[in-house]
Amino acid sequence: MDFKKLKDRLMQLDTASICDVSERVRIMDPEIRPINKGLKMVGIAHTIHVKVDFLTVLKALHDAEEDEVLVIDAEGDKKALAGELFALEAQRKKLAGIVVDGGCRDVNGIRKINFPLFARYITPVAGAASKIFSTQIEINCGGVSVSPGDIVYGDDDGIVVMNPEDVTEILETAENIQRIENKVLEKMEEGTSLTDLLNFFDHYAKIDRKEESKLIFTV
């Protein structure tokens, strides 16, 4: 599928709907949080492995292409490996976002830029710029494996990573889930009880009898 079309479809969803679909979706550690709330990030993984040093991050920022997400495995180090200047450059290059399993700084500046940047820590202390590490290799970021070319999607709820070959199937199911939830929201806004929109009472009774059952919407 053409990435632009894929991105347009993903931007209509949220990470919660995607996580409801498949165990093949990789979910990053929830401690990696967005600096700017209310933004969605959909892009192609451009991976980086570093330790206490941002020189390779700068090189990757130079090399990255439009719609890519810099995914930085900093081994959870608390030094800042990205900040306002990196975010501004990423925005200029039309990158989709930056994810740091480590620290970032200049958060007020990043918020003014309104660019999707996710990080585990906020700190004023910058890393060094004196060592060269690896890029475009399989890394571990937020407790999950990320390879170059993976699809990375982040919003206020967190970040998910998907194999490109799985995305179409995941998308179709997630879109259906979101359509159902939109109908539920409409009914609730009209005054219908949430439990009346679910098989709640039948499900509850079966669970109480130790029978197998699944909670589902009935709209």
Same domain (yes/no): 72, 137: yes
**Does residue 1 carry a pLDDT above 70?**
no
Residue 95 lies in a domain: yes
Residues 87-97: tens digit of each pLDDT: 999 999 999 99
> Which parts of the chain are beta strand (E)?
26-27, 33-34, 41-49, 68-73, 97-104, 117-122, 134-135, 139-141, 144-146, 151-155, 158-162
Decide if 213 is inside a domain: no
Asked whether residue 29 falls in the same domain as residue 133, the answer is yes
Give the predicted TM-score (pTM) of the model. Answer: 0.93
Rounded to an integer, the average pLDDT of 180-192 is 96
Task: Tally Cβ neighbours within 10 Å of residue 139.
Answer: 23
Q: CB–CB of 151/44 below 8 Å? A: yes
Domain finish residue from 162, 179, 198: 162
* Domain span at 117: 3-162
What's the number of domains the chain is made of? 2
Token representation of residue 35? 């600096």
Q: Is residue 218 part of a domain?
A: no
Q: How far is it, in rounded angstroms, from Cα 78 to Cα 54?
A: 12
Task: Report phi then psi at 50, rounded to 5.
Answer: -140, 170
Please determine, for residue 210, whether its predicted confidence score (pLDDT) is greater than 90.
yes
pLDDT band at 166 (very low <50, low <70, confident <90, very high): confident
Please give the pLDDT value at position 24.
82
Res 204 pLDDT > 70:
yes
- Residue 52's SS3 state is coil
- Of 147, 162, 177, the domain-final residue: 162
Same domain, 117 and 180: no
CATH number of residue 21's parent domain: 3.50.30.40
Domain assignment present for residue 177? The answer is: yes
Mean pLDDT of the chain: 95
